[in-house]
Amino acid sequence: MDGTNRKVFVESDLRLPNGLTVDLYSSQVCWGDAGTSKVECIREDGVGRVLLTDSAPYPFGLSYHGNNIFWTDWSQKAVMEVSRGGSPRASLEIPVGGNGRLYGLTSVTECPRKKEEMVTKYSRQKQRWTTCDMT
């Protein structure tokens, strides 16, 4: 992994690409660009560039889950979501504390323990956050 045989997927219309996620099931690479306020995807063969949204002020960390792309947004201080078809979804505000800049985001299909051990936590704004109980 020294960069020999690297492949360029996108060369144009980029300003400040921050987040990157690879969906092995659909063979797509998706990214967020804070300079263009866009979230886009392209097939791993470099064809089929698709704009999912052009209203993402400062996307940073990206992840996919099912048919949706999620990203942390430093301007909106929230976790944003859009379907691969481009339909926006509701956002999740992040809990109070810190500087409001979430760096990474990971989607987990199933918790390492039984599903019955899922715990729902509430922040001060009564937003719902579901986490795995790792105890």
Domains of the chain: 17-132 (2.120.10.30)
Between 109 and 29, the more confident residue is 29
Residue 39 is predicted with a pLDDT of: 96
- Indicate the range of 18-27, 29-38, 40-49 predicted with least confidence: 18-27
| Residue of 68, 74, 70, 64 lying closest to 34 (CA atoms) | 74
Residue 119 is predicted with a pLDDT of: 44
Which one of 12-16, 115-119, 123-127 scores highest in mean pLDDT?
A: 12-16
Between 93 and 112, the more confident residue is 93
Distance CA 133, CA 135 (A): 6
φ/ψ bin of 56: left (φ > 0), alpha (ψ from -120 to 50), beta (otherwise): beta
Residue 36 is predicted with a pLDDT of: 98
